[in-house]
Amino acid sequence: MPKLRLAALISGTGRTLLNFHKLIGTKQLSAQIIKVICNNTNSIGSKKAIDMRLPIQYVTLKQCNNSSIEQSSKIFAICKENNIDLICMAGWNNILTIPEEFYNKVMNIHPSLLPSFGGKGMFGINVHKAVLEKGCKISGCTVHFADNDYDSGPIIAQSAVEVYDTDTPEDLAARVFVAEKSLYPKVINAYAQGRISVNNRKVTIKNEFSI
Ligand code: GRF
């Protein structure tokens, strides 16, 4: 399988990054993490990236005059310089402005079954609280191509989990994260094999994997 040159965008605890790193180590993820781009110099994720000896570069909003447009152009310039094949948001919390040449080359994972429970403010535990408040019987995660809005790009794949009556938001978050750890790498591998195509927002995966 061809190895993708990956950039991972992180803001938080870096669990997704750690999962990628482990799976690359066991050859279950066909990628090489060329750059970790982080918008939070105090994040646990950045410490993990350093521990994993991954090349990290900080692009904070503060460095960019609080302009997400400026921040995006810095990020995509780094990706271009480094011949990045795929940018994976891995717990990234800033909006991006994606240049045309990177359309369908930026992925995100969201901890709900989009288009439900996505959008501004729907991150972290808020998502799972909202799912439980609505009395949903299933939840899950969604991998999608990113566009210039929150959680709104073409959906690539989803994985569902059951919601139990006794669930706390933390219980549900943990169950969804187990599904995330399996789904995201599978999608990245499918991308590496050139099996993912997009037509008018509709994504097709050739020889769809089992989840
Ligand atoms: C997960 O909930 C994921 O769906 C969202 O960020 C969280 C993971 O963040 N995109 P991290 O990898 O623990 O920083």
Q: Which residue of 180, 182, 184, 187 sits with most ligand 1 atoms within 8 Å of its CB, as the best mutation to test the pocket?
A: 180
Q: Please, are residues 191 and 2 in contact by the beta-carbon 8 Å criterion?
A: no
Q: What is the pLDDT of residue 86?
A: 98
Claim: this prediction has a pTM higher than 0.85: yes
Q: Please, are residues 13 and 38 in contact by the beta-carbon 8 Å criterion?
A: no
Closest to 59 measured CA to CA, from 18, 99, 96: 96
Q: What is the pLDDT of residue 37?
A: 98
- Helix axis angle for 15-25 and 44-51, nearest 10°, is 20
- Residues that are catalytic: 110
Distance CA 134, CA 132 (A): 5
Burial 123-137 (b: 16+ CB within 10 A, else e): beeebbbbbbeeebe
**Tens-of-pLDDT digits for all 211 residues of the chain?**
779 999 999 999 999 999 999 999 999 999 999 999 999 999 999 999 999 999 999 999 999 999 999 999 999 999 999 999 999 999 999 999 999 999 999 999 999 999 999 999 999 999 999 999 999 999 999 999 999 999 999 999 999 999 999 999 999 999 999 999 999 999 999 999 999 999 999 999 998 876 5
Strands 31-38 and 138-145: unpaired
Q: What is the DSSP letter of 112?
A: S
109: Cβ below 6 Å to ligand 1? yes
